[in-house]
Amino acid sequence: MKLSKLSLLSILGVVFWLSAALFVRFAGEKIFSENNSNLIILFLLSFPISYGLIFITQKVANLKQSELLQAVSLMTFVAAFLDGTAMLWFKQLYGTTFETCFYGAAWILWGAACGLFLGYLLDRPEQKTA
């Protein structure tokens, strides 16, 4: 992959992570709290949300089907790096309580895993013609 495409994918990783982190911040304890029945729904929605983000990425970055896993892996690396950094030094980004930060970070991690799983399933090696 060219550097320009890698840069675009890195930027998308930042944008997608920041969107999720801000969602955690603004949803706060309304969703990210213990025994909240909406939490399981949000976790399950991570699959279609991740699929949508992969679809957007494929169109914006003009990716071939065979480049999806590499692209998702790079974006997930960027997001995981930012998430770990934010949880360590800037946890107020996620909310004011430990509980909100804990469940919010778990949801972001779950979303990253969903993205990697879907990237693996959707990635198709190019067929070589003889």
pLDDT for the residue 119: 94
pLDDT in tens, 33-82: 888 989 999 999 999 999 999 999 999 999 999 999 999 999 999 999 99
pLDDT for the residue 1: 80
3-9 average pLDDT score: 95
19-34 average pLDDT score: 92
pLDDT classification of 106: cutoffs 50, 70, 90? very high
Task: Report if residue 106 sits inside a domain.
Answer: yes
Structural domains in the chain (count): 1
Q: Return the percentage of the chain with pLDDT > 70, whole number.
A: 96
What's 94's DSSP letter? Answer: T
Task: Report if residue 38 sits inside a domain.
Answer: yes
pLDDT at position 86 over 60: yes
Task: Report if residue 130 sits inside a domain.
Answer: no
Model confidence, pTM: 0.89
Task: Report if residue 104 sits inside a domain.
Answer: yes
Task: Report if residue 58 sits inside a domain.
Answer: yes
Per-chain mean pLDDT for the chain: 92
- Residues 4-10: contacts with CB under 8 Å, at least 24 apart: 5/61, 5/62, 5/63, 6/74, 8/60, 8/61, 9/57, 9/61, 9/71, 9/74, 9/75, 9/78, 10/74, 10/75, 10/78
pLDDT classification of 91: cutoffs 50, 70, 90? confident
Task: Report if residue 129 sits inside a domain.
Answer: no
- Residue 5: closest CA among 74, 54, 56: 74
* AA identity, residue 66: S
Task: Report if residue 61 sits inside a domain.
Answer: yes
Domain with 45, as residue range(s), is 3-122
Task: Report if residue 78 sits inside a domain.
Answer: yes
